[in-house]
Amino acid sequence: MKRTIPLLITGVVGTVLVVAYFIPHPPFDSLREDFSIFFDIIASVAFILGGGNLIRMHGSRISRKESNWPYSVVTVLGFLLTLFVGLTKLGNPNGFLGSSVTTSGSYFYAAYEYIFRPAAATMFALLAFYVASASFRAFRAKNAEATILLLVAFIVLIGRTFVGELLTSWLPDSLHFLTIPYLVEKIMVVLNFAGNRAIMIGIALGIVSTSLKVIIGIDRSYLGSG
Amino acid sequence: MKRIMWLGILAIILLVLALRTAQGHMLNPFDSFHGFGTWFAALLTLAIMSFLYNDNPVYRFAEHLFVGVSAAYWMVMGFWSTLVPNLFGKLWPSLTAKLFIPGIADQPRDPLWFLYFIPLVFGILLLLRLAPKGGYLSRWALALILGTTAGLRLIAFLTADFMGQIRATLNSVAGYVHPSLPGGTGVFSFEQMFWDVVSVIAIMAALSYFYFSKEHKGNFGRFSRVGIWVLMITFGAGFGYTVMGRIALLVGRVEFLLVDWLHVL
Amino acid sequence: MSRFMTIVEKLDTLDKRWVFLVVGLAVVVSTIFRLTFPERPTPMVCAIYEKIESLPEGSRVLLPFDYDPGSEPELQPMADAFVRHCCEKGLVMYFIALWPLGQNMVDGVIRRVLTVEYPDLEYGVDYVDMGYKAGNEGVIAVILTDLKKLYTTDAHGSSIQRIPMMEGISNIRSFDLILNISAGYPGLKEWIQYAGTPGNIPVAGGCTAVQAPLLYPYHPEQLLGLMGGIKAAAEYEALLLQGYPKFRNDKNRFQTALTRMGPQTIAHLSIVFFIILGNITFQILRRRRAQERQSQQRQE
């Protein structure tokens, strides 16, 4: 019961979706749509699960007064306040039934504009510094492969700016193939393209075989050990 | 001594900010909600950036606030955009129209509306993961998610990524693409043909590196070594682009601080 | 030990915070000076521009905004430029989002571009915001065959039946072009896999620079054109400036990406400097260690 039913659900749903591609007629096409919509709905429930998990985790930290528990209070408060203003559409200029929850002027919008947006953008912006640091400390020409990697990164970095154009603009037309913009273009459209296409074909094969294993029940890792 | 120096720098910065605000060069945080919000956003930005110096309580505060707000944000968006119109709206349209979205009332009722009890039940089962008992029932919902993902992905990756890419590779060596096809110029070019052939050889070389059923020795070994170089070029290009992307994000934040907050530009 | 070698060793163990400081200063200073450089559009960017130019007035364009504030500085100039171009060409725009925060990005472009620069355009007639839906590729899979089964209301809760421009839209094949802006999963790749390829619908779009190299293999068969990162956005702005001279008026509004390419260039140069410096240090120390090893072996 604990394992058979989930295996059955996965098998039936997966098979229907695959069959619907080859037989796009009733009942498979409508079943395909229905299963996809059910998936969308359950995916949105997963957000509630995520929120619930967060509260459970930080709630237990607070109740046990674990180290750094005051930060968990910040998380829980931030979560509850945003949830409250979002579900009630508090401060929405057009009222509760009037318009979208993200309408400018509501408190939910304020949570986005003044907390989420700067925090998310800055978190990602920090990576610029770490990439720079990695370039200095780890990006070294230790062997032939590393040297190729480094040279290409170097050309792309320079070539994707105006400086790249400027540096080799003095070259005559007959040596056009040596200009940095031309090199970047060929690196991206020929060699990067080729490498990524090979990787893509490999990944596609991997995903197809993994999906097949999940659908026919060979891969059961998602069921856990219990 | 170090602490005094830092406090001194902080005091000078605060003084400058206070003077600029008093002179009306910057938004006053106590004048309007927007002013307060902009200051809060700017301080949050600086708090997160302080991590570059060291891990510190101000950064941790910002980080934890971000986690809490973002989790609730996604939850609210999921509720209003999908659960209400696509689940409650299908099952109980008039009630949903009255309580949440009046626009639902104009929709004709789906003849198979009762099918929507399936995602409702599965959604509840998924939430049982949070309950102390019966957590195993959430696997039913997980099974539906996995079955759908596997079914959709199997076909998508097979057609678009596997067959699509092989077809595109085979089509590309002619040095000519008919103008009716995407990217087609209708002009034959030896240069284009040369690069197409190079690209196909590079693809084969990179693929040969991933082929482990034959030992990488002799001619095959040399060919797969070319494949490694192709992959290195790919990773190098990827790195260059990654740097570009990350810097763009930093420029965006700096613009926010200089333009929206400090009003110096 | 010579003074030169001391400096080299110090550089080798340089605190990363010095690197942070240099990069930070490079960006801040070049942002203050508002440096801009000319841009020469690349073929992939031109392909998108030409596709939009070739669409007859009233053509339907689906604009999925699949990004969030984490990549906004890179993608927002692109989104603004696409929307401006669609407006100039009189195309009908349908906004949707597969990312929860994508909804805010749509709101932003409507507030920033449509209501301010094109106040004559009417909501529901010239553009519509269909909002966010959870489900990632599951959403695309549904709307590939039946859009109204999933999208019963727009983002503001109005019935889809009452929106004039939704008439005649049955599924994703009803659109003339999918113009996606993507920051990851789900995004451009999923639109190609689940809509473009099976539905034979033209797909084009912009993405973050990180994502761009991975999407090159889809061009040109499955992807009309690709814009990777802020550089491509700047190229698109340059194309718009050429095609529509009125955009030359307000640099702050119409040339966001072009303006950001200034600090971008300086930051790239600073990183290139660090790569060179790091490698010189590494080679000197490697040579010295090899010499030390040799002398040790000789002594033994």
Positive/negative CA dihedral, C107, C111, C117, C119: positive
**Looking only at Cα atoms, what is the longest distance across chain A?**
76
Query: What pLDDT, on a 0 to 100 scale, did the predictor assign at position C299?
Result: 86
Coil, strand, or helix at residue C278? helix
> B103 CB near a chain C CB, below 8 Å?
yes
Question: Could you state, in order of their start, the residue ranges of all structural domains in chain C?
Answer: 3-35+261-299, 43-254
What is the nearest CA distance from B193 to chain A, expressed in angstroms? 11
Question: Could you state, in order of their start, the residue ranges of all structural domains in chain B?
Answer: 33-111, 117-174, 187-265
Judged by CB atoms closer than 8 Å, whether chains meet at C157 and B77 is answered as: no
Q: How far apart are the first and last CA of chain C?
A: 22
Contact assessment for residue C129 and residue C156, using Cβ atoms and an 8 Å cutoff: yes
Rounded Cα gap, residues B5 and C211, in angstroms:
43
- For residue B159, what are the contacts with CB-CB under 8 A and spacing of at least 6? C193, C197, C198
Q: Which residue has the tokens 């010499």?
A: C291
Per DSSP, what are the bridge partners of residue C64? C96
Task: Summarize pLDDT for C209-224 with one digit per residue, the tens.
Answer: 999 999 999 988 899 9
> B95 CB near a chain A CB, below 8 Å?
no
Query: What pLDDT, on a 0 to 100 scale, did the predictor assign at position C273?
Result: 94
> B74 CB near a chain C CB, below 8 Å?
yes
Q: What percent of chain A stands above pLDDT 90?
A: 79
Backbone φ, ψ for residue A219 (5° rounding)? -90, 110
Q: How far apart are the first and last CA of chain A?
A: 12
Judged by CB atoms closer than 8 Å, whether chains meet at B107 and C219 is answered as: no
Give the strand order in the sheet containing C92-97: C127-132, C92-97, C60-66, C177-182, C203-207, C226-228
Neighbours of chain B (3+ CB pairs under 8 A): A, C
Rounded Cα gap, residues C91 and B176, in angstroms:
32
Which ipTM did the prediction report?
Answer: 0.92
Rounded Cα gap, residues C135 and A36, in angstroms:
8
Structure tokens that stand for A153 in this block: 């990164």
Query: What pLDDT, on a 0 to 100 scale, did the predictor assign at position C35?
Result: 84
Structure tokens that stand for A39 in this block: 């998936």
Task: Summarize pLDDT for B128-150 with one digit per residue, the tens.
Answer: 999 888 888 999 999 999 999 99
Give the DSSP H or E segment for C145: none
Query: What pLDDT, on a 0 to 100 scale, did the predictor assign at position B184?
Result: 66
**Looking only at Cα atoms, what is the longest distance across chain B?**
77
Q: Which is more confidently placed, C59 or B190?
A: C59
Query: What pLDDT, on a 0 to 100 scale, did the predictor assign at position B183?
Result: 59
Rounded Cα gap, residues C178 and C23, in angstroms:
37
Positive/negative CA dihedral, C156, C137, B164, B244: positive
Contact assessment for residue C187 and residue C163, using Cβ atoms and an 8 Å cutoff: no
C119-122: long-range contacts at Cβ-Cβ below 8 A with a sequence spacing of 24 or more? Answer: C121/C87
Query: What pLDDT, on a 0 to 100 scale, did the predictor assign at position C34?
Result: 87
Which of C31, C90, C47, C67 has the alpha carbon at shortest distance from C252? C31
Contact assessment for residue C236 and residue C257, using Cβ atoms and an 8 Å cutoff: yes
Amino acid at C165: M
No. of helices (H) and no. of strands (E), chain B: 10, 0
Task: Summarize pLDDT for C238-269 with one digit per residue, the tens.
Answer: 999 999 999 998 888 899 999 999 999 999 99
Structure tokens that stand for C46 in this block: 């031109």
Give the best residue of A12, A54, A99, A191 to mutate against chain B (max B CB count within 10 A).
Answer: A191
Asked if the peptide bond before residue C220 counts as cis, ω within 30 degrees of 0, the response is: yes
Full-model pTM: 0.94
Helix axes B117-127, B138-156, angle to 10 degrees: 120
Structure tokens that stand for B60 in this block: 């941790």
Q: Which is more confidently placed, C36 or C229?
A: C229
- For C213-226, letters b (16+ CB in 10 Å) and e give bbbbbbbbbbbbbb
Under-50 pLDDT residues of chain A: none
Rounded Cα gap, residues C248 and A40, in angstroms:
44
Per DSSP, what are the bridge partners of residue C205? C180, C226
Q: What is the CA radius of gyration of chain A?
A: 27
Task: Summarize pLDDT for C47-59 with one digit per residue, the tens.
Answer: 999 999 999 999 9
Structure tokens that stand for B217 in this block: 């020795």
Q: Does domain C43-254 have CATH number 1.20.58?
A: no
What does pLDDT average to over chain C?
A: 94
Task: Summarize pLDDT for A98-126 with one digit per residue, the tens.
Answer: 788 999 889 999 999 999 999 999 999 99
Contact assessment for residue C145 and residue C112, using Cβ atoms and an 8 Å cutoff: no
Count of other CB atoms within 10 angstroms of residue C123: 16
| Touching C: A residues 51-70, CB under 8 Å | none
Burial of B103 (0-12, 13-18, 19+ CB in 10 A): buried
Rounded Cα gap, residues A7 and B12, in angstroms:
65
The count of residues in chain A is: 226
Q: What percent of chain C stands above pLDDT 90?
A: 86
Give the best residue of C16, C144, C289 to mutate against chain A (max A CB count within 10 A).
Answer: C16
Rounded Cα gap, residues A139 and A133, in angstroms:
9
Tally of CA atoms within 13 A in the half-sphere of B45 that contains its CB: 28
Which of C149, C157, C197 has its CB closest to that of B101?
C157
Question: Using a CB-CB distance cutoff of 8 angstroms, which residues of chain A are in contact with residue B155?
Answer: 17-18, 21
- For C48-72, letters b (16+ CB in 10 Å) and e give bbebbeebeeebbbbbbbbbbbbbb
Judged by CB atoms closer than 8 Å, whether chains meet at A163 and C217 is answered as: no
Judged by CB atoms closer than 8 Å, whether chains meet at B103 and C193 is answered as: no
> C285 CB near a chain A CB, below 8 Å?
no
> B142 CB near a chain A CB, below 8 Å?
yes
Residue C87 has pLDDT above 90, yes or no: yes
Question: Using a CB-CB distance cutoff of 8 angstroms, which residues of chain A are in contact with residue C287?
Answer: none
> C106 CB near a chain B CB, below 8 Å?
no
Mean pLDDT over B186-211 rounds to 89
Question: Using a CB-CB distance cutoff of 8 angstroms, which residues of chain A are in contact with residue C129?
Answer: 100
Query: What pLDDT, on a 0 to 100 scale, did the predictor assign at position A225?
Result: 63
Q: Which residue has the tokens 């991206």?
A: A188
Residue B188 has pLDDT above 90, yes or no: no
Rounded Cα gap, residues C193 and C191, in angstroms:
6
Q: What percent of chain B stands above pLDDT 90?
A: 77
Cα–Cα distances in angstroms (integers) from residue A134 to residues A140, C120, C268, in the given order: 10, 50, 14
Q: What is the CA radius of gyration of chain C?
A: 24
What does pLDDT average to over chain B?
A: 91
Coil, strand, or helix at residue C177? strand
Judged by CB atoms closer than 8 Å, whether chains meet at C222 and B254 is answered as: no
The residue of chain C with its CA nearest to that of A97 is C157
Query: What pLDDT, on a 0 to 100 scale, did the predictor assign at position B106?
Result: 78
No. of helices (H) and no. of strands (E), chain C: 14, 6
Count of other CB atoms within 10 angstroms of residue C102: 26
Contact assessment for residue A131 and residue B52, using Cβ atoms and an 8 Å cutoff: no
- For residue A192, what are the contacts with CB-CB under 8 A and spacing of at least 6? B233, B234, B237, B238, C213, C216
Query: What pLDDT, on a 0 to 100 scale, did the predictor assign at position A226?
Result: 52
- Give the model's confidence band at B30: pLDDT under 50 very low, under 70 low, under 90 confident, else very high: very high
Q: What is the DSSP string of B229-251?
A: HHHHHHHHHHHHHHHHHHHHHHH
Q: Please tell me the least confidently modeled range out of B51-65, B160-174, C66-80, C90-104.
A: B160-174
Count of other CB atoms within 10 angstroms of residue C40: 10
Task: Summarize pLDDT for B224-248 with one digit per residue, the tens.
Answer: 999 999 999 999 999 999 999 999 9
Which of B146, C137, B122, B153 has the alpha carbon at shortest distance from A224? B146
Rounded Cα gap, residues B171 and A194, in angstroms:
14
